[in-house]
């Protein structure tokens, strides 16, 4: 069999995008609110998982602070879309600082700003973060997530402190969330297949060897980190306008942990895996609500146990790590060739 | 000051566990803080549910936590020996979340009051200041446990093997030492110390909940890094530095108290930037 040609590839990609758009349109038109909500969540998780995977899977750096970037993105975009009148109403304890209190921007601009600001923060913290590796890197990024949360609670004149921001306009609809998700997937795929991506993988496999071959680890890690932060920030903005209420304690380490489950189950280092992992996680998370609800078996009933889902998810994560370290996809990627039964060069 | 030393000795107790495990396995045991939580709960249930006097329930809690530590190592870390480090770390995070959420499911998320035994509940007056005895006992108990630990590490064969393993993992194996056993002992000792820290922590802040281990765990880790990870004395020193520092900052600049946890992380980041090996950590120093 011949490998799929460039033209066919493009056509097939376009066709599947159209199919996706069509399906989403049908849901938008006829689906229930609940279904639309889940699809939105799924898209946002796909953005987050794919961008998270860029640092964790492709570069092999265990980074535990995506929740920080999500928080930054959510607050930035929320503060930009709220109208000045609304802001005056919400900030009861301390008024909002001047420039922020007056401006209002359209949703698209606010998302862009969210991404850029998250990226800026990523740039700033990359200097201490990439001085260290492995466990230290994990802890420093985890600490960054905590610091951002503490600051959000404390800086009342910017974030409204523990009260959070309420009453955001639900701008996020399927077009936005899936649109950004598709852009993220395309961008990250192009990046990982470029020479930059190959350099990142080289760093993952053996940093010293990569350096000996003339790869500058800091430059490439910084690139991956900033791209990842950008998309996390945008996703944060989307998330804020989906749930319409944000508070500092919304984006905790639990969110990072969930993302970690997604990319590990999907296969660390595979963008396809991240997409699959995110989709499965969203679906399973909803499907498993059953276990937290009281169940009736004839005469006796089991009371609902809140938190049971997380136990199952933790067990799942441990199981995958212990017995099937490569997850669903390993490091393979989806391609039309692969679908036709031939393995591309891996 | 005394408050700082008392808090510092708690950090030190927990930090030692991190440092010992890191010294041998080069792994941050994320579940370490949750062992602390487990110890607090088992001490709590020992005294309330089984009506044991504290001098029975506390040692039992120590023992149980030690065993749990070994179990965690066996089930989550041992199968991954030789696997990429990122898997090991993810596994550690997984264990931590599993323990927290199991506690949440089994016990429930409502914080429970911790019964403080009467012995620790008194207040003494010393030079005009009223000090709860607990604040005085904590450093003393820490010192006793610490000297016990040092005796094990520096005076016994197991301790010698532990020190050897932290210097060179593979050579130690070649010398015919059963590393799995050494690692189990390390986890046992580390977990027992964490349990002691946990029990005293819950007497100091008498409230127990499934996520109570997270913050002391992180702080103790910071302490271990401050002092130089892999080094027991470093962990103790780091614990005291962090504890005293925190209390001082809160006492001197009360406005900063809500930033207390953020400041600890700032200290960690600065330390890693300027002296990644910690106060006492030298690349060639003997480590456990």
Q: Does B94 touch chain A (CB under 8 A)?
A: yes
pLDDT value of residue B287:
44
**Does residue A267 carry a pLDDT above 70?**
yes
Place of tokens 């566990």: B17
Residue A310 CA, distance from chain mean position: 19
Nearest to B228 by CA among B285, B185, B164, B150: B285
In a domain, A74, yes or no: yes
Chain B interface disruption, residue of A57, A139, A258, A285, most B CBs within 10 A: A139
In a domain, A80, yes or no: yes
Which stretch of DSSP H or E encloses residue B208? strand B207-208
Nearest CA in chain A to B99: A311
The minimal CB distance from A315 to the residues B79, B98, B221 is found for: B98
pLDDT value of residue A159:
80
In a domain, A336, yes or no: no
Whether residue A59 contacts residue A203, with contact meaning beta carbons closer than 8 Å, is answered with yes
Range in A9-18, A232-241, A276-285, B171-180 the model is least confident about: B171-180
Distance from CA of B269 to the nearest CA of A (A): 7
Does B170 or A60 have the greater pLDDT score? A60
The minimal CB distance from B221 to the residues A139, A310, A325 is found for: A139
Give the A window 188-207 contacts with B, CB below 8 Å.
none
pLDDT value of residue A115:
93
Regions in chain B scoring below 70 on pLDDT: 118-122, 124-129, 276, 278, 280-288
Chain B residues touching A321 at Cβ < 8 A: 80, 87, 90-91, 94
Phi, psi of B112 (to 5 degrees): -115, 145
Cβ separation B91–A257 shorter than 8 A: no
Tokens of B21: 């495990």
pLDDT value of residue A305:
64
Tokens of A135: 């466990």
Whether residue B140 contacts residue B10, with contact meaning beta carbons closer than 8 Å, is answered with no
Secondary structure, 3-state, B59-102: HHHHHHHHHHHHHHHHHHHHHHCCCCHHHHHHHHHHHHHHHHHH
pLDDT value of residue B271:
80
Cβ separation B89–A146 shorter than 8 A: no
Q: Does A131 touch chain B (CB under 8 A)?
A: yes
Domain count along chain A: 1
User: Residue A1: which pLDDT band, with cuts at 50, 70 and 90?
Assistant: low
User: Residue A116: which pLDDT band, with cuts at 50, 70 and 90?
Assistant: very high
What distances in angstroms separate CA A218 from CA A61, A144, A183, A224, B73, one per listed residue? 12, 19, 26, 10, 34
Whether residue B133 contacts residue B123, with contact meaning beta carbons closer than 8 Å, is answered with yes
Residue A257 buriedness (CB in 10 A; 0-12 / 13-18 / 19+): buried
Q: Can you tell me the distance from the alpha carbon of A148 to that of B262, in angstroms, rounded to the nearest whole number?
A: 8
Average pLDDT over residues A27-55: 89
Number of A–B residue contacts, CB under 8 Å? 107
Q: Can you tell me the distance from the alpha carbon of A285 to that of A289, in angstroms, rounded to the nearest whole number?
A: 7
Tokens of B158: 């197991």
Name the residue range of residue A207's domain.
30-251
Q: Can you tell me the distance from the alpha carbon of B190 to that of B92, in angstroms, rounded to the nearest whole number?
A: 15
Distance from CA of A311 to the nearest CA of B (A): 6
Percent of chain A with pLDDT over 70: 91
Tell me how far apart the 2 most distant CA atoms of chain A are, in Å.
71
Q: Does B27 touch chain A (CB under 8 A)?
A: yes
Domain boundaries, chain B: 2-274
Region B2-274: CATH code: 1.10.3470
Phi, psi of A236 (to 5 degrees): -60, -45
Buried b (16+ CB within 10 A) or exposed e, B105-142: bebeeeebebbbeeebeeeeeeeeeebbebbbbbbebb
Average pLDDT over residues A302-315: 73
Q: B125: which strand partners?
A: B130
Average pLDDT over residues A283-312: 69
In a domain, A234, yes or no: yes
Q: Can you tell me the distance from the alpha carbon of B190 to that of B193, in angstroms, rounded to the nearest whole number?
A: 5
Q: Does B24 touch chain A (CB under 8 A)?
A: no
Q: Can you tell me the distance from the alpha carbon of A127 to that of A300, in angstroms, rounded to the nearest whole number?
A: 59
Q: What is the mean pLDDT of chain A?
A: 84
pLDDT value of residue B286:
42
Q: By three-state DSSP, how is residue A170 classified?
A: coil
What distances in angstroms separate CA A135 from CA B98, B210, B225, B227, one per listed residue? 20, 24, 11, 16
**pTM score, whole prediction:** 0.84
pLDDT value of residue A345:
46
Phi, psi of A22 (to 5 degrees): -60, -50
In a domain, A134, yes or no: yes
Chain A residues touching B80 at Cβ < 8 A: 321-322
Whether residue B8 contacts residue B135, with contact meaning beta carbons closer than 8 Å, is answered with no
Give the B window 137-196 contacts with A, CB below 8 Å.
none
Q: Can you tell me the distance from the alpha carbon of B35 to that of B170, in angstroms, rounded to the nearest whole number?
A: 29
Q: Can you tell me the distance from the alpha carbon of A322 to that of A301, in angstroms, rounded to the nearest whole number?
A: 34
Q: Does B221 touch chain A (CB under 8 A)?
A: yes
Percent of chain A with pLDDT over 90: 23
Cβ separation B101–A146 shorter than 8 A: no
Segment A86-115, tens digit of pLDDT: 777 777 777 777 677 777 888 889 999 999
Phi, psi of A192 (to 5 degrees): -70, -25
Nearest to A169 by CA among A100, A101, A238, A117: A238
């Amino acid at each position: 069999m011949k490998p799929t040609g460039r033209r066919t590839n493009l056509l097939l990609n376009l066709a599947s995008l159209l199919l996706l758009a069509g399906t989403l349109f049908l849901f938008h038109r006829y689906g229930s609110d609940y279904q639309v909500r889940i699809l939105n969540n799924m898209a946002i998780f796909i953005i987050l998982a794919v961008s998270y995977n860029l640092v964790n899977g492709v570069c092999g750096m265990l980074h535990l602070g995506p929740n920080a970037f999500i928080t930054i993105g959510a607050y930035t975009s929320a503060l930009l879309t709220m109208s000045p009148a609304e802001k005056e109403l919400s900030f009861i304890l301390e008024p909002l600082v001047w420039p922020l209190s007056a401006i209002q921007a359209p949703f698209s601009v606010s998302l862009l700003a969210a991404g850029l600001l998250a990226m800026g923060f990523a740039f700033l913290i990359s200097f201490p973060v990439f001085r260290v590796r492995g466990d230290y890197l994990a802890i420093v990024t985890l600490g960054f997530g905590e610091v951002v949360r503490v600051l959000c609670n404390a800086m009342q004149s910017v974030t409204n402190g523990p009260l959070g921001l309420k009453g955001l306009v639900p701008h996020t609809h399927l077009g936005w969330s899936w649109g950004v998700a598709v852009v993220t997937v395309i961008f990250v795929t192009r990046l990982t297949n470029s020479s930059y991506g190959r350099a990142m993988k080289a760093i993952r496999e053996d940093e010293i060897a990569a350096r000996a071959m003339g790869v500058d680890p800091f430059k490439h890690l910084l690139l991956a980190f900033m791209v990842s932060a950008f998309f996390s920030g945008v996703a944060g903005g989307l998330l804020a306008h989906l749930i319409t209420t944000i508070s500092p304690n919304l984006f905790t380490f639990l969110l990072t942990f969930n993302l970690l489950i997604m990319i590990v189950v999907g296969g660390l280092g595979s963008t396809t895996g991240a997409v699959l992992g995110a989709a499965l996680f969203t679906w399973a998370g909803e499907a498993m609500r059953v276990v937290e609800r009281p169940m009736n078996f004839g005469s006796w009933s089991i009371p609902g146990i809140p938190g049971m889902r997380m136990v199952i998810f933790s067990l799942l994560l441990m199981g995958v790590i212990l017995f099937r370290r490569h997850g669903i996809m390993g490091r393979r990627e989806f391609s039309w060739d692969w679908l036709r039964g031939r393995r591309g060069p891996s | 000051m005394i408050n700082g030393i008392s808090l510092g000795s708690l950090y030190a107790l927990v930090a030692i566990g991190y440092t010992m495990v890191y010294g041998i396995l080069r792994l941050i045991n994320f579940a370490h803080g949750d062992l602390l939580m487990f110890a607090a709960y088992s001490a709590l249930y020992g005294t309330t549910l089984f009506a044991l006097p504290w001098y029975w329930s506390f040692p039992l809690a120590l023992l149980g936590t030690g065993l749990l530590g070994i179990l965690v190592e066996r089930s989550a870390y041992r199968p991954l020996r030789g696997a990429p480090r990122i898997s090991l770390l993810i596994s550690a995070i997984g264990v931590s979340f599993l323990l927290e959420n199991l506690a949440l499911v089994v016990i429930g998320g409502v914080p429970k009051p911790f019964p403080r035994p009467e012995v620790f509940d008194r207040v003494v007056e010393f030079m005009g200041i009223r000090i709860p005895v607990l604040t005085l006992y904590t450093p003393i108990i820490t010192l006793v446990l610490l000297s016990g630990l040092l005796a094990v590490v520096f005076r016994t064969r197991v301790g010698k093997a532990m020190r050897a393993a932290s210097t060179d993992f593979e050579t130690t194996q070649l010398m015919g030492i059963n590393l799995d056993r050494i690692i189990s002992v390390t986890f046992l000792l580390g977990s027992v110390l964490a349990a002691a820290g946990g029990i005293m922590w819950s007497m100091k802040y008498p409230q127990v909940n499934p996520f109570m281990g997270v913050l002391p765990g992180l702080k103790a880790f910071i302490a271990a890094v401050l002092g130089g990870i892999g080094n027991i004395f470093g962990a103790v020193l780091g614990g005291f530095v962090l504890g005293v520092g925190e209390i001082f900052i809160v006492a001197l600049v009360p406005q900063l108290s809500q930033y207390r946890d953020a400041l600890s992380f700032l200290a960690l980041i600065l330390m890693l930037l300027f002296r990644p090996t910690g106060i006492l950590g030298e690349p060639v120093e003997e480590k456990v």
